[in-house]
């Protein structure tokens, strides 16, 4: 089977105005997707988006392409990616499309697809869509053109769904929360969910203007959240990313908790309550400390390739429910078909209420290994695997950091970056090796 040309680990993504994120390509993409869906007589697609200014443009051309293929669309407007997945399932739609570049800056955008079951589109369907892109665009007869309608109550439906994922009677009264919406798709839903469950909510990053998504805010930029938690003397800070499928948190002392910290809290909470099904899936980037801590608790742990779709695949293969990434993609398959930042945060907050423990206390027994992640820009066409200098440097570094340490070099699936992760017991050695490897990669490209 041929390799995918446009679809990456999280749909199609790129710089706005340049292929593949140009209006003409996305028009053809909508038509191609519609053609694939129409083969089985399927005729309804939902389209949601984040708050990027280019979302209006891509929404218009997507609906035009789908209509040309004879497929009806319902426009959702700004809504977190997992919200689109949920509505796709509950409306019995044939597919869902999200216009978003997640945590990337406003000048990028992307297209993600969900199946009728609310899960990421499988590889076979993505390849079928790519095959259609090679054909000439032909419009169906006028009587068969797709119609476009707008779904007015999408945000309210999603808010109620999020609230339904915690035990009945759960109240967050007495908790003071800072909620950072990244000026993105969750700016309406996230504050409402926590407030309607009784929390005192102070919201930041909730004034999207089309250009400020993820800018100095959100899960990838937590400084403002930390500062606000401390200045407001809040109990917890919660930050999602631009499309709402990632979450990180901050405790009352301003300590930052990433996806590994939160995954530990979720796993241990479920273990204590006797509701943990199987084990936990992480990725190649998951901190070694989490693997070792879960092992001490008797919880099986497996690593998938980086990307929430690979975490999902391994969870399904094993029949487990809980997995995630250090970046804050957290999946609880007993609650949703995809990763959801708001729902993951709710599970943590519900455990605080249930146990009577602070966020700091819930995390207290988890000890991480020092870990450094360095991103090195990659020039187009650079082949890391073909560099003997990089291979030798990595093998030497692995010898130096053994036996308790890991080194992972991987290309980003969403940006032109080489990510270098070094982890071990000695923080100074970890930093030294990461910087050395970054320098060698840069020299190799020059």
Low-confidence ranges of the chain (pLDDT < 50): 1
∠ Cα 260 263 267 (to 5°):
140
Q: List the domain boundaries for the chain.
A: 12-155, 171-257, 258-368, 371-445
Residue 268, both tokens? 């241990």
Percent helix, percent strand, percent coil in the chain, to nearest 5:
40, 20, 40
Preceding amide of 34 cis, omega within 30: no
Domain at 258-368, CATH class: alpha beta
What is residue 3's predicted lDDT score, i.e. its pLDDT?
A: 64
Token pair belonging to 211: 């250009």
- Domain at 12-155, CATH from 3.40.120.10, 3.40.50.11540, 3.30.930.10, 3.40.50.2300: 3.40.120.10
Identical fold for domains 171-257 and 258-368, yes or no, is: yes
Provide the 10 A C-beta neighbour count for residue 106: 24
Beta strands in 17-107 (DSSP E): 44-49, 72-78, 95-99
Residues with a known catalytic role: 102
Tell me which CATH homologous superfamily contains domain 371-445: Alpha-D-phosphohexomutase, C-terminal domain (3.30.310.50)
**Of 422, 276, 271, 262, which Cα lies nearest the Cα of 343?**
262
Q: Residue 23 is inside which H or E element, if any?
A: helix 23-38
State the fold for domain 171-257.
Alpha-D-Glucose-1,6-Bisphosphate; Chain A, domain 3 (3.40.120)
Q: What are φ and ψ of residue 115, in 5° steps? A: -80, 175
Task: State how far the Cα of 361 lies from the Cα of 393, in Å rounded to an integer.
Answer: 40
* pLDDT attached to residue 1: 41
Helices marked H in 319-380 — which ranges?
A: 341-355, 359-363
């Amino acid at each position: 089977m041929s390799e995918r040309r446009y679809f990456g680990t999280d749909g199609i993504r790129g710089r706005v105005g340049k292929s593949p994120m140009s209006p003409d390509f996305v028009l053809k993409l909508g038509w191609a997707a519609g053609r694939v869906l129409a083969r089985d007589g399927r005729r309804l697609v939902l389209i949601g988006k984040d708050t990027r200014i280019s979302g209006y443009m891509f929404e218009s051309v997507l609906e035009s392409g789908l209509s040309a293929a004879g497929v009806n669309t319902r426009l959702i407007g700004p809504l977190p990616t997992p919200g689109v997945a949920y509505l796709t399932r509950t409306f019995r739609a044939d597919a869902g499309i999200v216009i978003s570049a997640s945590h990337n800056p406003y000048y990028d955008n992307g297209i993600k697809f969900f199946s009728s079951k609310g899960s990421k589109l499988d590889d076979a369907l993505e390849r079928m869509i790519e095959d259609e892109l090679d054909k000439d665009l032909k419009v169906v007869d006028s009587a068969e053109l797709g119609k476009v309608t707008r779904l007015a109550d999408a945000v309210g439906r999603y808010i109620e769904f999020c609230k339904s994922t915690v035990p009945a009677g759960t109240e967050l009264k007495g908790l003071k929360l800072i909620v950072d919406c990244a000026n993105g798709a969750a700016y309406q839903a996230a504050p409402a969910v926590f407030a309607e469950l009784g929390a005192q909510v102070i919201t930041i990053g909730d004034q999207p203007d089309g250009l400020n998504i993820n800018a100095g805010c959100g899960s990838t930029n937590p400084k403002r959240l930390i500062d606000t938690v401390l200045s407001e003397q809040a109990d917890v800070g919660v930050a999602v990313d631009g499309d709402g499928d990632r979450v990180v948190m901050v405790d009352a002392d301003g300590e930052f908790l990433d996806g590994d910290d939160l995954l530990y809290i979720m796993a241990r909470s479920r273990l204590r309550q006797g509701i943990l099904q199987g084990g936990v899936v992480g990725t190649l980037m998951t901190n070694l400390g989490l693997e070792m801590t879960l092992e001490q608790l008797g919880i099986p742990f497996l690593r998938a390739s980086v990307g929430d779709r690979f975490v999902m695949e391994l969870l399904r293969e094993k029949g487990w429910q809980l997995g995630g990434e250090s970046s804050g993609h957290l999946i609880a398959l007993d609650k949703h078909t995809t990763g959801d930042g708001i729902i993951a945060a709710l599970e943590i907050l519900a455990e605080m209420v249930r146990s009577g423990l602070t966020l700091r206390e819930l995390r207290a027994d988890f000890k991480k290994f020092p870990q450094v992640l360095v991103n090195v820009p990659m020039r187009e066409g650079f082949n890391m695997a073909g560099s003997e200098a990089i291979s030798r440097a990595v093998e030497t570094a692995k010898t130096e950091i053994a036996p308790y340490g890991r080194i992972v070099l991987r290309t980003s699936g969403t940006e032109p970056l080489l990510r270098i992760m070094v982890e071990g017991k000695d923080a100074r050695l970890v930093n030294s090796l990461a910087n050395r490897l970054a320098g060698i990669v840069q020299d190799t490209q020059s």
